[in-house]
Structure 1
Protein backbone atom coordinates (compact mmCIF):
# COMPACT_ATOMS: atom_id res chain seq x y z
CA UNK A 1 0.00 0.00 0.00
CA UNK A 2 1.18 3.49 -0.88
CA UNK A 3 0.61 5.98 1.93
CA UNK A 4 1.53 9.67 2.11
CA UNK A 5 0.82 10.40 5.79
CA UNK A 6 1.54 7.15 7.62
CA UNK A 7 4.08 4.34 7.68
CA UNK A 8 2.94 0.72 7.71
CA UNK A 9 5.00 -2.40 8.31
CA UNK A 10 4.49 -5.94 9.56
CA UNK A 11 7.19 -7.84 11.45
CA UNK A 12 6.84 -11.03 13.47
CA UNK A 13 3.03 -10.91 13.25
CA UNK A 14 2.93 -7.34 14.65
CA UNK A 15 1.64 -4.55 12.41
CA UNK A 16 3.08 -1.15 13.26
CA UNK A 17 1.20 1.92 12.03
CA UNK A 18 3.07 5.20 12.44
CA UNK A 19 1.40 8.55 11.85
CA UNK A 20 4.05 10.41 9.87
CA UNK A 21 3.38 14.14 9.61
CA UNK A 22 6.24 15.48 11.75
CA UNK A 23 5.99 19.03 10.41
CA UNK A 24 2.38 19.12 11.72
CA UNK A 25 3.17 17.18 14.92
CA UNK A 26 1.28 14.29 13.30
CA UNK A 27 -2.03 16.19 13.36
CA UNK A 28 -5.00 14.31 11.91
CA UNK A 29 -6.46 15.61 8.67
CA UNK A 30 -9.01 13.91 6.42
CA UNK A 31 -6.36 12.23 4.29
CA UNK A 32 -4.57 10.82 7.33
CA UNK A 33 -7.81 9.50 8.83
CA UNK A 34 -8.59 7.77 5.53
CA UNK A 35 -5.12 6.22 5.34
CA UNK A 36 -5.33 5.07 8.95
CA UNK A 37 -8.66 3.42 8.19
CA UNK A 38 -7.13 1.58 5.24
CA UNK A 39 -4.09 0.47 7.25
CA UNK A 40 -6.11 -0.75 10.24
CA UNK A 41 -8.53 -2.54 7.91
CA UNK A 42 -5.69 -4.26 6.04
CA UNK A 43 -3.98 -5.31 9.26
CA UNK A 44 -7.20 -6.67 10.73
CA UNK A 45 -7.88 -8.73 7.61
CA UNK A 46 -4.33 -10.11 7.44
CA UNK A 47 -4.40 -13.49 9.17
CA UNK A 48 -0.65 -13.22 9.79
CA UNK A 49 -1.15 -10.11 11.94
CA UNK A 50 -1.86 -10.88 15.58
CA UNK A 51 -1.42 -7.43 17.19
CA UNK A 52 -1.44 -3.84 15.90
CA UNK A 53 0.68 -1.07 17.44
CA UNK A 54 -0.04 2.55 16.51
CA UNK A 55 2.37 5.37 17.31
CA UNK A 56 3.59 8.74 16.03
CA UNK A 57 6.78 9.62 14.20
CA UNK A 58 9.50 11.56 16.00
CA UNK A 59 9.86 12.21 19.71
CA UNK A 60 7.49 15.14 20.20
CA UNK A 61 4.03 13.86 19.41
CA UNK A 62 1.81 10.83 19.07
CA UNK A 63 -0.85 13.05 17.50
CA UNK A 64 -1.02 16.71 18.57
CA UNK A 65 -4.67 17.04 17.55
CA UNK A 66 -6.84 17.53 14.50
CA UNK A 67 -5.80 19.77 11.63
CA UNK A 68 -7.85 22.84 12.58
CA UNK A 69 -7.27 24.54 9.23
CA UNK A 70 -9.49 21.92 7.59
CA UNK A 71 -12.65 22.74 9.57
CA UNK A 72 -12.30 26.28 10.93
CA UNK A 73 -14.79 27.52 8.29
CA UNK A 74 -17.35 24.70 8.71
CA UNK A 75 -21.03 25.29 9.53
CA UNK A 76 -23.26 23.15 11.76
CA UNK A 77 -24.06 20.56 9.09
CA UNK A 78 -20.46 20.13 7.99
CA UNK A 79 -19.26 19.93 11.58
CA UNK A 80 -21.71 17.12 12.34
CA UNK A 81 -20.69 15.26 9.20
CA UNK A 82 -17.01 15.64 10.12
CA UNK A 83 -17.53 13.98 13.50
CA UNK A 84 -19.78 11.23 12.12
CA UNK A 85 -17.43 10.35 9.27
CA UNK A 86 -14.39 10.33 11.54
CA UNK A 87 -16.09 8.04 14.02
CA UNK A 88 -17.12 5.61 11.29
CA UNK A 89 -13.77 5.56 9.50
CA UNK A 90 -11.38 5.51 12.43
CA UNK A 91 -12.38 5.86 16.06
CA UNK A 92 -15.34 3.46 16.36
CA UNK A 93 -13.70 1.32 13.70
CA UNK A 94 -10.51 0.85 15.74
CA UNK A 95 -12.38 0.23 18.98
CA UNK A 96 -14.32 -2.63 17.41
CA UNK A 97 -11.48 -4.32 15.51
CA UNK A 98 -11.09 -8.01 16.28
CA UNK A 99 -7.29 -7.63 16.33
CA UNK A 100 -5.84 -6.14 19.55
CA UNK A 101 -4.66 -2.54 19.12
CA UNK A 102 -2.04 -0.99 21.41
CA UNK A 103 -1.44 2.78 21.36
CA UNK A 104 2.22 3.65 22.01
CA UNK A 105 1.85 7.29 23.04
CA UNK A 106 5.15 9.04 22.40
CA UNK A 107 4.72 12.68 23.38
CA UNK A 108 1.69 14.93 22.88
CA UNK A 109 -1.69 13.19 22.52
CA UNK A 110 -4.15 16.05 22.34
CA UNK A 111 -7.69 16.32 21.02
CA UNK A 112 -8.11 13.84 18.20
CA UNK A 113 -4.79 12.29 19.17
CA UNK A 114 -6.00 11.37 22.64
CA UNK A 115 -9.30 10.26 21.14
CA UNK A 116 -7.41 7.90 18.82
CA UNK A 117 -5.37 6.54 21.73
CA UNK A 118 -8.55 6.01 23.76
CA UNK A 119 -10.18 4.16 20.85
CA UNK A 120 -7.33 1.62 20.98
CA UNK A 121 -7.80 -1.34 23.29
CA UNK A 122 -5.18 -0.05 25.72
CA UNK A 123 -2.31 2.41 25.94
CA UNK A 124 1.35 2.61 26.96
CA UNK A 125 3.12 5.96 27.15
CA UNK A 126 6.57 7.49 27.16
CA UNK A 127 7.49 9.50 30.22
CA UNK A 128 7.40 12.75 28.22
CA UNK A 129 3.80 12.21 27.09
CA UNK A 130 1.21 14.93 27.63
CA UNK A 131 -2.49 14.22 27.17
CA UNK A 132 -5.60 16.33 27.05
CA UNK A 133 -8.74 17.45 25.25
CA UNK A 134 -8.28 21.18 24.56
CA UNK A 135 -11.30 21.60 22.30
CA UNK A 136 -13.28 23.92 24.61
CA UNK A 137 -10.48 26.48 24.25
CA UNK A 138 -11.45 26.59 20.55
CA UNK A 139 -15.17 26.95 21.18
CA UNK A 140 -16.01 23.34 20.37
CA UNK A 141 -16.18 19.99 22.18
CA UNK A 142 -14.38 16.72 21.48
CA UNK A 143 -16.11 15.17 18.48
CA UNK A 144 -14.32 11.86 17.98
CA UNK A 145 -15.58 10.09 21.09
CA UNK A 146 -13.66 12.04 23.72
CA UNK A 147 -16.67 12.95 25.84
CA UNK A 148 -17.68 9.28 25.95
CA UNK A 149 -14.42 7.32 26.25
CA UNK A 150 -12.58 9.59 28.68
CA UNK A 151 -15.21 9.25 31.47
CA UNK A 152 -15.28 5.48 30.87
CA UNK A 153 -11.53 5.32 31.43
CA UNK A 154 -10.90 7.84 34.22
CA UNK A 155 -14.32 8.62 35.72
CA UNK A 156 -16.84 11.40 35.17
CA UNK A 157 -15.40 13.99 37.54
CA UNK A 158 -11.85 13.85 36.26
CA UNK A 159 -13.06 13.81 32.65
CA UNK A 160 -15.31 16.82 33.25
CA UNK A 161 -12.37 18.75 34.72
CA UNK A 162 -10.05 17.92 31.84
CA UNK A 163 -12.65 18.87 29.22
CA UNK A 164 -13.76 22.06 30.99
CA UNK A 165 -10.26 23.34 31.73
CA UNK A 166 -8.85 22.23 28.34
CA UNK A 167 -5.89 21.15 30.44
CA UNK A 168 -3.16 18.56 29.97
CA UNK A 169 -1.93 15.79 32.24
CA UNK A 170 1.50 14.19 32.24
CA UNK A 171 2.25 10.51 31.77
CA UNK A 172 2.46 9.71 35.49
CA UNK A 173 -0.92 11.33 36.15
CA UNK A 174 -2.37 9.43 33.19
CA UNK A 175 -1.02 6.22 34.76
CA UNK A 176 -2.50 7.10 38.15
CA UNK A 177 -5.87 7.86 36.50
CA UNK A 178 -5.87 4.55 34.60
CA UNK A 179 -5.74 6.28 31.23
CA UNK A 180 -2.56 4.39 30.33
CA UNK A 181 -1.41 0.97 31.51
CA UNK A 182 2.35 1.56 31.60
CA UNK A 183 4.85 4.43 31.44
CA UNK A 184 8.42 3.98 30.27
CA UNK A 185 11.20 5.91 28.57
CA UNK A 186 10.91 7.02 24.97
CA UNK A 187 13.60 4.51 23.92
CA UNK A 188 11.80 1.64 25.64
CA UNK A 189 8.28 2.53 24.50
CA UNK A 190 8.04 0.40 21.35
CA UNK A 191 10.02 -2.50 22.87
CA UNK A 192 7.54 -2.50 25.78
CA UNK A 193 4.57 -2.48 23.40
CA UNK A 194 6.15 -5.34 21.46
CA UNK A 195 6.81 -7.28 24.66
CA UNK A 196 3.14 -7.00 25.63
CA UNK A 197 2.17 -7.95 22.07
CA UNK A 198 4.28 -11.09 22.32
CA UNK A 199 2.40 -12.11 25.47
CA UNK A 200 -0.91 -11.55 23.69
CA UNK A 201 0.21 -13.68 20.76
CA UNK A 202 0.72 -16.72 22.99
CA UNK A 203 -3.04 -16.93 23.41
CA UNK A 204 -5.98 -17.74 21.14
CA UNK A 205 -6.62 -14.96 18.61
CA UNK A 206 -10.18 -16.23 18.25
CA UNK A 207 -10.83 -16.02 22.00
CA UNK A 208 -9.23 -12.56 22.16
CA UNK A 209 -11.47 -11.25 19.37
CA UNK A 210 -14.52 -12.53 21.24
CA UNK A 211 -13.26 -11.00 24.49
CA UNK A 212 -12.91 -7.61 22.77
CA UNK A 213 -16.50 -7.86 21.58
CA UNK A 214 -17.77 -8.82 25.04
CA UNK A 215 -15.86 -6.08 26.88
CA UNK A 216 -16.97 -3.41 24.41
CA UNK A 217 -20.59 -4.51 24.76
CA UNK A 218 -20.66 -3.23 28.35
CA UNK A 219 -20.13 0.32 27.07
CA UNK A 220 -22.82 0.33 24.38
CA UNK A 221 -26.24 1.77 25.13
CA UNK A 222 -29.04 -0.76 25.00
CA UNK A 223 -26.69 -3.74 24.91
CA UNK A 224 -26.59 -6.34 27.70
CA UNK A 225 -22.88 -7.02 28.14
CA UNK A 226 -23.53 -10.12 30.22
CA UNK A 227 -25.68 -11.58 27.44
CA UNK A 228 -22.94 -10.90 24.89
CA UNK A 229 -20.39 -12.54 27.17
CA UNK A 230 -22.56 -15.64 27.55
CA UNK A 231 -23.07 -15.87 23.80
CA UNK A 232 -19.38 -15.41 22.95
CA UNK A 233 -18.33 -17.80 25.73
CA UNK A 234 -20.57 -20.44 24.19
CA UNK A 235 -19.29 -19.71 20.70
CA UNK A 236 -15.75 -20.42 21.84
CA UNK A 237 -16.71 -24.07 22.37
CA UNK A 238 -17.21 -24.46 18.64
CA UNK A 239 -13.70 -23.32 17.71
CA UNK A 240 -10.56 -25.27 16.89
CA UNK A 241 -8.66 -22.99 19.29
CA UNK A 242 -10.82 -24.23 22.18
CA UNK A 243 -10.13 -27.84 21.25
CA UNK A 244 -6.40 -27.19 21.01
CA UNK A 245 -6.26 -25.10 24.18
CA UNK A 246 -8.07 -27.59 26.38
CA UNK A 247 -6.27 -30.58 24.85
CA UNK A 248 -2.88 -28.95 25.38
CA UNK A 249 -3.77 -28.18 29.00
CA UNK A 250 -4.80 -31.76 29.69
CA UNK A 251 -1.70 -33.08 27.93
CA UNK A 252 0.49 -30.63 29.90
CA UNK A 253 2.00 -29.02 26.81
CA UNK A 254 2.06 -25.58 25.23
CA UNK A 255 -0.93 -24.86 23.00
CA UNK A 256 -0.39 -24.28 19.30
CA UNK A 257 -3.49 -22.32 18.39
CA UNK A 258 -4.59 -22.54 14.73
CA UNK A 259 -6.54 -19.28 14.99
CA UNK A 260 -9.81 -20.90 13.94
Structure 2
Protein backbone atom coordinates (compact mmCIF):
# COMPACT_ATOMS: atom_id res chain seq x y z
CA UNK A 1 0.00 0.00 0.00
CA UNK A 2 1.38 3.40 -0.96
CA UNK A 3 1.96 6.34 1.33
CA UNK A 4 4.89 7.71 3.30
CA UNK A 5 5.55 10.34 5.94
CA UNK A 6 8.96 11.96 5.60
CA UNK A 7 10.79 13.58 8.53
CA UNK A 8 13.43 16.24 7.93
CA UNK A 9 14.93 18.93 10.15
CA UNK A 10 16.81 22.15 9.49
CA UNK A 11 17.61 25.11 11.69
CA UNK A 12 15.68 23.79 14.66
CA UNK A 13 12.48 23.29 12.63
CA UNK A 14 11.41 19.74 11.81
CA UNK A 15 9.00 18.95 8.99
CA UNK A 16 6.66 15.99 8.79
CA UNK A 17 5.51 15.64 5.18
CA UNK A 18 2.55 13.48 4.14
CA UNK A 19 3.39 11.89 0.80
CA UNK A 20 0.48 10.07 -0.80
CA UNK A 21 -0.72 12.63 -3.37
CA UNK A 22 -2.31 10.07 -5.69
CA UNK A 23 -4.84 9.44 -2.92
CA UNK A 24 -5.00 13.03 -1.69
CA UNK A 25 -2.55 12.13 1.09
CA UNK A 26 -5.02 9.70 2.66
CA UNK A 27 -3.63 7.79 5.63
CA UNK A 28 -2.59 4.16 5.28
CA UNK A 29 -1.61 1.78 8.12
CA UNK A 30 2.06 2.26 7.24
CA UNK A 31 1.69 6.02 7.50
CA UNK A 32 0.16 5.70 10.96
CA UNK A 33 3.10 3.63 12.16
CA UNK A 34 5.56 6.05 10.58
CA UNK A 35 3.91 8.98 12.35
CA UNK A 36 4.26 7.24 15.71
CA UNK A 37 7.94 6.47 15.07
CA UNK A 38 8.66 10.04 13.97
CA UNK A 39 6.95 11.47 17.06
CA UNK A 40 9.19 9.37 19.30
CA UNK A 41 12.26 10.60 17.42
CA UNK A 42 11.15 14.24 17.63
CA UNK A 43 10.58 14.12 21.38
CA UNK A 44 14.14 12.85 21.85
CA UNK A 45 15.81 15.44 19.62
CA UNK A 46 16.86 18.49 21.68
CA UNK A 47 17.76 20.37 18.51
CA UNK A 48 14.14 20.54 17.32
CA UNK A 49 12.26 23.61 18.52
CA UNK A 50 9.11 23.29 16.41
CA UNK A 51 7.41 20.84 14.06
CA UNK A 52 5.61 21.68 10.82
CA UNK A 53 3.08 19.18 9.46
CA UNK A 54 2.74 19.60 5.70
CA UNK A 55 1.57 17.58 2.70
CA UNK A 56 2.53 16.98 -0.90
CA UNK A 57 0.54 18.94 -3.46
CA UNK A 58 -1.97 21.70 -2.94
CA UNK A 59 -5.25 19.85 -3.63
CA UNK A 60 -5.51 18.23 -0.22
CA UNK A 61 -3.68 18.39 3.07
CA UNK A 62 -5.20 15.00 3.84
CA UNK A 63 -8.44 13.40 2.66
CA UNK A 64 -8.64 11.23 5.78
CA UNK A 65 -8.09 7.49 6.05
CA UNK A 66 -7.64 5.37 2.92
CA UNK A 67 -10.99 3.64 2.52
CA UNK A 68 -9.32 0.64 0.87
CA UNK A 69 -7.35 0.10 4.08
CA UNK A 70 -10.31 -0.09 6.44
CA UNK A 71 -13.28 -1.16 4.27
CA UNK A 72 -12.38 -4.90 4.31
CA UNK A 73 -11.94 -5.03 8.10
CA UNK A 74 -14.39 -6.87 10.33
CA UNK A 75 -16.32 -4.79 12.84
CA UNK A 76 -14.07 -6.03 15.65
CA UNK A 77 -10.84 -5.32 13.77
CA UNK A 78 -12.12 -1.94 12.63
CA UNK A 79 -12.87 -0.86 16.20
CA UNK A 80 -10.00 -2.63 17.93
CA UNK A 81 -7.17 -1.94 15.52
CA UNK A 82 -7.92 0.75 12.96
CA UNK A 83 -9.82 3.20 15.15
CA UNK A 84 -7.94 2.65 18.39
CA UNK A 85 -4.51 2.66 16.72
CA UNK A 86 -5.31 5.83 14.80
CA UNK A 87 -6.67 7.54 17.90
CA UNK A 88 -3.64 6.52 19.95
CA UNK A 89 -1.16 7.74 17.34
CA UNK A 90 -2.96 11.04 16.80
CA UNK A 91 -2.89 11.48 20.58
CA UNK A 92 0.86 10.86 20.41
CA UNK A 93 1.19 13.76 17.98
CA UNK A 94 -0.98 16.01 20.13
CA UNK A 95 1.20 15.35 23.18
CA UNK A 96 4.55 16.06 21.56
CA UNK A 97 6.70 18.21 23.84
CA UNK A 98 7.51 20.43 20.82
CA UNK A 99 5.06 23.03 19.46
CA UNK A 100 3.39 21.82 16.25
CA UNK A 101 1.88 23.72 13.32
CA UNK A 102 -0.35 22.15 10.67
CA UNK A 103 0.03 23.76 7.25
CA UNK A 104 -3.24 23.35 5.35
CA UNK A 105 -2.46 24.16 1.72
CA UNK A 106 -5.41 22.03 0.60
CA UNK A 107 -8.58 20.48 1.96
CA UNK A 108 -8.55 18.59 5.27
CA UNK A 109 -11.33 16.02 5.49
CA UNK A 110 -12.15 13.37 8.10
CA UNK A 111 -8.94 11.95 9.50
CA UNK A 112 -7.07 14.81 7.84
CA UNK A 113 -9.03 17.37 9.85
CA UNK A 114 -8.52 15.27 12.98
CA UNK A 115 -4.78 15.25 12.22
CA UNK A 116 -4.70 19.03 11.91
CA UNK A 117 -6.66 19.32 15.16
CA UNK A 118 -3.96 17.30 16.93
CA UNK A 119 -1.46 20.08 16.20
CA UNK A 120 -1.11 23.13 18.44
CA UNK A 121 -2.05 25.68 15.79
CA UNK A 122 -3.02 25.73 12.13
CA UNK A 123 -2.27 27.98 9.15
CA UNK A 124 -4.62 27.62 6.18
CA UNK A 125 -4.74 28.57 2.51
CA UNK A 126 -7.76 30.71 1.48
CA UNK A 127 -9.24 28.07 -0.82
CA UNK A 128 -8.87 25.13 1.56
CA UNK A 129 -11.88 23.74 3.41
CA UNK A 130 -12.49 21.49 6.41
CA UNK A 131 -15.02 18.66 6.59
CA UNK A 132 -16.12 15.56 8.46
CA UNK A 133 -17.75 13.45 5.72
CA UNK A 134 -17.70 10.10 7.53
CA UNK A 135 -21.47 9.67 7.80
CA UNK A 136 -21.69 9.81 4.00
CA UNK A 137 -19.85 6.47 3.85
CA UNK A 138 -21.67 4.94 6.81
CA UNK A 139 -19.15 5.53 9.60
CA UNK A 140 -18.44 8.20 12.21
CA UNK A 141 -15.31 10.24 13.03
CA UNK A 142 -13.00 7.86 14.87
CA UNK A 143 -9.67 9.60 15.40
CA UNK A 144 -10.86 12.29 17.87
CA UNK A 145 -13.22 14.17 15.54
CA UNK A 146 -16.03 14.14 18.08
CA UNK A 147 -13.74 14.53 21.09
CA UNK A 148 -10.74 16.83 20.51
CA UNK A 149 -12.64 18.89 17.94
CA UNK A 150 -15.40 19.43 20.49
CA UNK A 151 -12.86 21.39 22.54
CA UNK A 152 -11.71 23.44 19.55
CA UNK A 153 -14.99 24.25 17.76
CA UNK A 154 -18.40 25.38 19.02
CA UNK A 155 -20.83 22.49 19.38
CA UNK A 156 -23.30 23.75 16.71
CA UNK A 157 -20.48 24.15 14.18
CA UNK A 158 -19.16 20.66 14.87
CA UNK A 159 -22.69 19.29 14.43
CA UNK A 160 -23.02 21.13 11.12
CA UNK A 161 -19.96 19.27 9.91
CA UNK A 162 -20.38 15.83 11.50
CA UNK A 163 -24.16 15.50 11.13
CA UNK A 164 -25.02 17.57 8.07
CA UNK A 165 -21.77 17.28 6.12
CA UNK A 166 -21.23 21.02 5.76
CA UNK A 167 -17.75 22.27 4.96
CA UNK A 168 -15.97 24.92 6.98
CA UNK A 169 -14.27 27.64 4.93
CA UNK A 170 -10.89 29.11 5.78
CA UNK A 171 -12.40 32.49 6.67
CA UNK A 172 -14.96 30.97 9.01
CA UNK A 173 -12.33 28.72 10.59
CA UNK A 174 -10.25 31.84 11.24
CA UNK A 175 -13.20 33.69 12.76
CA UNK A 176 -13.84 30.73 15.07
CA UNK A 177 -10.20 30.69 16.20
CA UNK A 178 -9.55 27.23 14.80
CA UNK A 179 -6.79 28.51 12.52
CA UNK A 180 -4.20 31.07 13.49
CA UNK A 181 -3.92 32.69 10.08
CA UNK A 182 -5.23 32.39 6.52
CA UNK A 183 -2.50 33.08 3.97
CA UNK A 184 -1.75 32.59 0.29
CA UNK A 185 1.60 31.08 1.32
CA UNK A 186 0.70 29.13 4.47
CA UNK A 187 4.01 27.26 4.66
CA UNK A 188 5.97 30.50 4.64
CA UNK A 189 3.76 31.96 7.37
CA UNK A 190 4.01 28.78 9.45
CA UNK A 191 7.79 28.81 9.16
CA UNK A 192 7.90 32.43 10.30
CA UNK A 193 5.78 31.55 13.33
CA UNK A 194 8.06 28.60 14.12
CA UNK A 195 11.17 30.75 13.80
CA UNK A 196 9.77 33.01 16.53
CA UNK A 197 10.51 30.21 18.99
CA UNK A 198 14.24 30.86 18.62
CA UNK A 199 13.88 33.74 21.10
CA UNK A 200 11.94 31.64 23.63
CA UNK A 201 13.19 29.24 26.28
CA UNK A 202 12.81 25.64 25.03
CA UNK A 203 12.05 24.37 28.51
CA UNK A 204 9.58 27.15 29.30
CA UNK A 205 7.79 26.52 25.99
CA UNK A 206 7.51 22.81 26.76
CA UNK A 207 6.19 23.42 30.27
CA UNK A 208 3.70 26.03 29.05
CA UNK A 209 2.32 23.48 26.58
CA UNK A 210 1.97 20.92 29.38
CA UNK A 211 0.15 23.45 31.57
CA UNK A 212 -2.31 24.37 28.82
CA UNK A 213 -2.97 20.71 28.02
CA UNK A 214 -3.61 19.97 31.69
CA UNK A 215 -6.09 22.86 31.80
CA UNK A 216 -8.10 21.74 28.75
CA UNK A 217 -7.98 18.02 29.55
CA UNK A 218 -5.51 16.88 26.87
CA UNK A 219 -4.12 13.82 28.71
CA UNK A 220 -4.44 15.76 31.97
CA UNK A 221 -3.08 13.00 34.22
CA UNK A 222 0.13 12.60 32.23
CA UNK A 223 0.62 16.37 31.95
CA UNK A 224 0.26 16.86 35.72
CA UNK A 225 2.67 13.98 36.36
CA UNK A 226 5.17 15.48 33.91
CA UNK A 227 4.97 18.91 35.53
CA UNK A 228 5.36 17.53 39.04
CA UNK A 229 8.15 15.16 38.08
CA UNK A 230 10.04 17.92 36.30
CA UNK A 231 9.83 20.13 39.37
CA UNK A 232 10.92 17.45 41.85
CA UNK A 233 13.74 16.18 39.65
CA UNK A 234 15.48 19.56 39.97
CA UNK A 235 15.37 19.48 43.79
CA UNK A 236 18.14 18.75 46.27
CA UNK A 237 15.85 16.15 47.82
CA UNK A 238 15.89 14.13 44.61
CA UNK A 239 19.69 14.36 44.39
CA UNK A 240 20.02 13.25 48.01
CA UNK A 241 17.58 10.39 47.57
CA UNK A 242 19.45 9.03 44.55
CA UNK A 243 22.81 9.42 46.29
CA UNK A 244 21.56 7.68 49.43
CA UNK A 245 20.18 4.78 47.41
CA UNK A 246 23.49 4.34 45.60
CA UNK A 247 25.45 4.53 48.86
CA UNK A 248 23.03 2.20 50.70
CA UNK A 249 22.35 4.67 53.51
CA UNK A 250 19.37 6.47 54.96
CA UNK A 251 18.72 9.76 53.11
CA UNK A 252 18.96 13.10 54.89
CA UNK A 253 16.56 15.22 52.84
CA UNK A 254 17.33 18.99 53.00
CA UNK A 255 13.80 19.90 51.95
CA UNK A 256 14.69 21.99 48.93
TM over 0.5: yes
| CA–CA distance in structure 1, aligned partners of residues 219 and 40 of structure 2 | 27
Larger Rg: 2
Aligned alpha-carbon RMSD (Å): 2.6
TM-score calculated relative to the size of structure 2: 0.83
Q: Is the 8 A contact 1:151 1:158 kept in 2?
A: no
Runs of 4+ residues over 2 Å off in structure 1 = 73-76, 218-225, 234-239
Q: Which residue of 2 aligns with 1:173?
A: 172
Partner SS for 1:19:
strand
TM superposition shift of 1:76: 2.3
Counterpart of 2:86 in structure 1 is: 86
Task: Could you tell me which runs of 5 or more consecutive residues in structure 1 were left unpaired when the two chains were aligned.
Answer: 240-260
Structural mapping, 1:204-243, within 5 Å: 204-220=201-217, 223=220, 228=224, 235=231, 238=234
| 3-state secondary structure, aligned to 1:9 | strand
Matched, 1:194 2:171: no
| Structure 2 unpaired stretches of 5+ | 236-256
Matches within 5 A, 1:10-21: 10-21=9-20
1:251 corresponds to: none
State the 1:53 CA deviation.
0.2
> Within 2, Cα distance between the matches of 1:77 and 1:224?
29
In the TM superposition, residue 158 of structure 1 has moved relative to its aligned partner by 1.1
Residues paired across the two proteins, number: 233
- Deviation, structure 1 residue 40: 2.4
Write the distance in 1 (CA, Å) between the matches of 2:191 and 2:232.
27
The normalised TM-score by structure 1 is 0.82
For residue 137 of structure 1, what is the aligned residue in structure 2? 136
